[in-house]
Structure 1
Amino acid sequence: MKKFILTSILFYSIQLNAQNVINNNNITSQIIEYLAENGISPEQNDQSFNDLIELSEHPININTLDKEFLERLLFLSDFQIQELLKFIKNYSPISSKYQLQAINNFSPELIETLSLFVTYGEPSMTKTKSYLKAKTLIRDVFEYEKPKGYQINDSSGYLGNHHHVYTKTLFEYGSNISCGFVYDKDPGEKFFDQNNKPEFLSGFAEYKSNKTINHIIIGDYHATFGQGLAISTGTNMGKAGDIFLIRKRNNGIKRNTSASEVNFLRGIASSLDWKSLTITTFLSSKHIDANTIYDSLSFKKTATSLPTTGYHRTLNELAIKNTLLQETLGANISYQYRNLSLSAGTYYQKTDIDSIESNELYKQLNPPSNQTNNSWLAYNYGHKNFIVFGELACNSTGNLAFINGILLRPTSNISTSILYRNISMHYNSPWINSITESSNPNGESGAYFGIKALPLKNLEIQSYIDMFKFRWLKYNTNKPSDGYELSFKAQYQLAQNSNIYILYKEKEKDRNISNETTTYTIEKYNLKKIRANIQFEASQNWTLQCRVEKSFYNTLNQKSDGTLAFANLNYHLNNKKFSCSFRYGIFDIENYDSRIYTYENDLLYNFSVPSFQDKGSRTYLLTQWKANKYITLWFKAAQTWYSNKKEIGSGLQTIKGNTKTNFKIQLQVKI
């Protein structure tokens, strides 16, 4: 059955009973875990998650839905959107969610999920009065055991305290005007930098309307066009989750409400609608972190690296903060005629340095440039049971990259997706964010095949395989290479809020193996993971989740494995004013190569995806209390205990002892 993607995050922000949330948590955890396993911080890639939370707080009448709104609901496939719009057209007004049961493959769980974002009944013909609404969220996260960096009194240690402080404020006037800001201070950072400026502050002002000038954003924003080969600063779902997520949709500009310090633009963006045409322009000017050197003989400034961690905890990290100015100017024009969508665009970007150099071997063929120009052509066409889409992108040197894909539904119970990509060895874009294996995909080609089937009423099977090839060196792989990634999942619905699934994942790639000399040997590694997960509704108030996962890592000369198991108990009061989640887990994992990631329930707008290795246990307690309609409080305490360690971490992050404990406190006020 169709599960929606981000219910764990919505768990603490919308009035949904705990059983349904846990029942829909599977795909959520897979996506977040997939991002973490591939070195992508979910907190730096969370804009779509934030969008869903905000959409749930402003449900709209189902009889007024359009395709643009539905495409923002990532849990709906393109074919389900088609079926829903067709049903609304034929049977409007829809007065009850139970009418949606007549739509093919709309399960009760999917209908409940959709109902979080819509209302039912005759649309109101009276113009709604606009009111000013505001909400503020304040969070503090800290570790009980202080790492070494906080115990050093001189300038070689961390400059700030061990608290991670986050605040977010949003003002909205009706559905047209909004503004907000985000402040974030990482552990070890000072609240204000050496120039008395906030450590990180992001903000925006936004105007929307149905007129010709229909969208303006001033401040921080995101821009995504085509399939992300040229520019996409939003969320990349990767290959996990649903097979239909390989197609990027709902392109355009969006306000930034994320705490990410890297993946956004800063300036002004606007969108104009004229009949079937939409013209979008964007201008950005922002400073980013860079390690730079200045040659006094040639009077040239060179960047040697562009760190993206966002950390400014030490004097060295603080010295590189905002040292490089990055300016971007771009435009996109799109044309919509019935089921056909065409778009074309370009952007130019430059920095205020003379060159960007890198000593990394895999970047020598295609080094970063201090200025670049990328252009793209994209298309999307849907008709009944198929959708074709793609993008052709070109950089300033004339090198090409393209993606073409098709979504098919040959029968009502079988859906497939196919995608092929091919990127020139000399193609590059600083904002590339597409369905690729590598985050620097120059020289990559690959083919993705996915299938979803409903062979029985309560059984869903979903699988994909992605085969890829690199015609040039990659990070940690000093030769051209190839590999594959596959996934198979079978899920059976035991009852409305109870299910069981088996998930198998396998990946095979080449990587460097270091030796005692400065040279590397290359060998292929194979990583397999298998998981069994059951979620069971014990009563109206109690839900239990249990999981066992195994990992197997193999090379020609090395083998390792790991085991992780946990039980998760969830409780909520009938009035939903109080809820809590408790987990106890154990792990026995040989080394880093066979590590296992596990998504945890957490605070609103916060993620926890710890990776496990060595031996020990993990425990956490998460509570939420809704004091009234204005105030909500969260608290989380978590501890990891290692049975085979006397010291945790390394460098300034070293902790003496075998436990790591952290606390999270959060307050949200709505007016």
Structure 2
Amino acid sequence: MKNLVWIAFAFLFCLSAKAQEGVNDAMDRALIIEQRIEQIAETSEDENLDYNTLFEKLSVYIDFPLNLNSATADDLYSLGFLSNYQIGEFMEYRLEYGNLFSIFELPQINGWDVYTADLIEPFVMVSPETANRKITLEKMLKYGKNEWVVRYQRILEEQYGYTDATPEEWEKSENARYLGSADKVYTRYRYRYDDRISFGITAEKDNGEEFFNGSQKNGFDFYSAHLHLSDFGVVKALSLGDYQAQFGQGLTFWSGLGFNRKSSFTVSTAQRGRGIGAYTSINENLFLRGGAATVGLGKFDVSVFYSGKEIDGNLLEQEQDTLDFSEPEVLVSSFQESGYHRTASEVRSKNSIFQQHYGGNISFDHERLHLGVTAARMELDGAINRDIKEYSKFRFSGSENTIIGGDYSYKFRNFFFFGETSRSENGGLATMNGVNINMNPRLSVNITQRHYDTDFQPVASVGFGEGSSVENESGVYLGIEFRPFKKWKFNAYFDQFKFPWLRYQVDAPSSGYDFLAQLDYQPSSRFGVYIRYRDREKQINTREDVEGLDNIVLNPRRNLRLNFSYSAARNIQFRSRVEFSEYKRGAEPVSRGFMVYQDVSYDFKKLPLKFTFRYALFDTDTYDSRIYAYENDVRYFFSIPAYSGRGTRVYAMIKYDIGRNIDFWLRWAQYYYTDRNEIGSSKELINGNTKSEIKAQFLFKF
């Protein structure tokens, strides 16, 4: 009953004023980026993914809007809001009618509408004249943008890993406690000129890592630097230092995250490899280090890349022959991808093996046709010798692997075909093929098929699918987007998949499905509501005690969400959400979850101050029925925490503009649990029922 009262309060608060029609003002850029990230993150259910790289170009377009009269198809794709079909229709419209005179032309393009135009408007412009692209030192000094970000955060309650250990505990285990403080520190400097020059340096210290002492005498645990140039004559792209390389649909070679996730935002599953680009995020694994370049030769683009860097690995102990004086080969049982170096064993795994990537891509583009061929090779200065489990027996082991693949896309009338097929050195194949069909301006359909061999061994891949890696999966995806009326949109997809071989915690071949349906109603730019239902079902090992191999059982997971957003004025916004979850594993009792929250965001008119606040109530029977929800955070940082257990979560954040060139954020967030007196486990253990985090950030612009 108490929960029902809170639900009623939340929605009455949101709906206390009637939504008003008004001028369709351009949405706040930061809000648009946040909404798009939430739509991508909603299906990943991972709190730790770094989404900065996905929206790198959007941050550039905030300061240097994209001129639609000179934009390429790749530029339009980098916005992250447009399907390949929409991009193709835009390019044909410009080819037939010439340069645009106004952004108001966009809704007239086949496959576009007013909503799409409003979505990209804050990041684009329409210029009647072709801008002078010649770069001079005077222009770089006058129009270049410099940014310096400094961020600090920590958990306020004491966690076990930061308490003092006794000499006996240290003697018993070298990993008895974390070596460093609970502080997390991040800083980044970056210079940008349009989307053509980017230079930056990034440094980060994770919580628990030492800082200017012990194992980290050089200060930060992670350093990154890049120099990226674009559009200099025949040289379309040149990257030195840390960079990204992304080609085709992602099956053959793609470093970093991809856009092709199942989402309620779009039914499209096609990617468009952006080639060579700068790396500015803090993930310590999903990047390349070295040099890369792309050269344009008429309708052909030729890219080459080389990367060499030390990576973390879990070292294997080796017996050394006393008569053998040669240096033993480095062997690792697995790669360590957390990026943490907080304990003695984590420090020992740091930079334990040297990894090289090199290869290239040749692409051909002519009107509606794109063809590409990518080849890449990975070499280790040592070898990976996996601790073989039955489910991982086909995964890559050894010291070198080569992969080659071809991708294509072709637009024919209202059809957009796309796909890629790749082959690893051992003969394993992976293929993905799909078609986007624009039935009419109100109805779009997507059909995508994929088949990834059990023994396909990717080098660096991001493929569309249910699993986290491109292997051991096949499936068919059907998506539909329908706009029956001007202010209504219906999105749905159904994905049927199977795994021909064993997986982690699944001791037999298995199958499943994923279904999502969402109905949006947007009567004005100030008010919107949507309802979403998602039903997922896979197979997993039973948790019952059985002899021999565990038998597999069904584990359906269902979510129902109702979301309202309302702007009473340009300076005040409300968002309310209620969500229910349900999970069942075999014959176990059903685990249910519930969450409701209220967001308030207020821009003070007479002060350069913005205030954001959330109050959330949650109640889940177990961690299995947890609910994820995106949270507003400081610039360049994203939070998608899990709401699990019983309690409340509150966060408050202020953004204060200290003059024209300095922005300051201060954020406080707290879990308050009513069902426990301990939070977390092992070194993350907190004795108490609250977990609070403080975060502060300065952004200097000059």
1:176 to partner: Cα distance: 3.6
Distance 1:405 1:101 in 2: 26
Aligned residue type for 1:115: E
Matched, 1:486 2:515: yes
1:345 to partner: Cα distance: 1.8
* Partner residue in 2 for 1:495: 524
Aligned CA distance change for structure 1 residues 101 and 372 (closer, same or farther; 3 Å): closer
| Match for residue 182 of structure 1 among 197, 202, 209 | 202
1:244 to partner: Cα distance: 4.4
* Partner residue in 2 for 1:138: 150
For the residue of structure 2 that corresponds to 1:233, the secondary structure is: coil
Describe the superposition over 1:344-368 as per-residue Cα deviations: whole angstroms up to 9, x where unpaired. 1211111111442223331113343
Map 1:399-418; keep pairs closer than 5 Å.
Answer: 399-418=428-447
* Partner residue in 2 for 1:205: 227
| Match for residue 319 of structure 2 among 292, 295, 299 | 295
1:519 to partner: Cα distance: 4.4
Distance 2:362 2:528 in 1: 45
Identify the range of structure 1 (452-461 vs 117-126) with the bigger mean alpha-carbon deviation.
117-126
Matched, 1:374 2:380: no
Distance 1:669 1:24 in 2: 21
* Partner residue in 2 for 1:196: 217
Describe the superposition over 1:642-671 as per-residue Cα deviations: whole angstroms up to 9, x where unpaired. 011111000000001100111110111111
1:81 to partner: Cα distance: 2.3
1:90 to partner: Cα distance: 5.5
| Match for residue 56 of structure 1 among 41, 57, 62 | 62
Whether the 8 Å CA contact 2:482–2:491 is kept in 1: the answer is yes
1:22 to partner: Cα distance: 5.6
Identify the range of structure 1 (614-623 vs 354-363) with the bigger mean alpha-carbon deviation.
354-363
Matched, 1:220 2:248: no
Matched, 1:604 2:610: no
Describe the superposition over 1:445-473 as per-residue Cα deviations: whole angstroms up to 9, x where unpaired. 11111000011121100000111111101
Matched, 1:588 2:588: no
* Partner residue in 2 for 1:120: 126
| Match for residue 76 of structure 2 among 70, 86, 98 | 70
For the residue of structure 1 that corresponds to 2:42, the secondary structure is: helix
Whether the 8 Å CA contact 2:88–2:368 is kept in 1: the answer is no
Aligned CA distance change for structure 1 residues 443 and 250 (closer, same or farther; 3 Å): closer
Map 1:445-524; keep pairs closer than 5 Å.
Answer: 445-516=474-545, 519-524=549-554
Whether the 8 Å CA contact 1:22–1:535 is kept in 2: the answer is no
* Partner residue in 2 for 1:260: 283
1:623 to partner: Cα distance: 1.4
For the residue of structure 2 that corresponds to 1:243, the secondary structure is: coil
Aligned CA distance change for structure 1 residues 349 and 587 (closer, same or farther; 3 Å): same
1:581 to partner: Cα distance: 1.1
Distance 1:282 1:536 in 2: 47
TM-score with structure 2 length normalisation? 0.88
For the residue of structure 2 that corresponds to 1:478, the secondary structure is: coil
Matched, 1:111 2:132: no
1:612 to partner: Cα distance: 1.4
Matched, 1:643 2:674: yes
* Partner residue in 1 for 2:600: 569
Aligned residue type for 1:233: S
Aligned residue type for 2:567: E
1:144 to partner: Cα distance: 1.1
* Partner residue in 2 for 1:10: none
Whether the 8 Å CA contact 2:330–2:383 is kept in 1: the answer is yes
Long gaps (5+) in structure 1:
1-15
Distance 1:535 1:307 in 2: 41
Aligned CA distance change for structure 1 residues 61 and 357 (closer, same or farther; 3 Å): closer
Matched, 1:167 2:167: no
Describe the superposition over 1:392-442 as per-residue Cα deviations: whole angstroms up to 9, x where unpaired. 101112221111111110111100111101111211113121102112342
Describe the superposition over 1:578-606 as per-residue Cα deviations: whole angstroms up to 9, x where unpaired. 22211101001000111110110111111
Aligned residue type for 1:55: Y
For the residue of structure 2 that corresponds to 1:115, the secondary structure is: helix
Whether the 8 Å CA contact 1:301–1:354 is kept in 2: the answer is yes
1:149 to partner: Cα distance: 0.6
* Partner residue in 2 for 1:661: 692
Whether the 8 Å CA contact 1:78–1:244 is kept in 2: the answer is no
Whether the 8 Å CA contact 2:563–2:578 is kept in 1: the answer is yes
Whether the 8 Å CA contact 1:19–1:537 is kept in 2: the answer is no
Aligned CA distance change for structure 1 residues 379 and 106 (closer, same or farther; 3 Å): closer
Describe the superposition over 1:615-637 as per-residue Cα deviations: whole angstroms up to 9, x where unpaired. 10011111112223311111111
Long gaps (5+) in structure 2:
1-24
TM-score with structure 1 length normalisation? 0.92
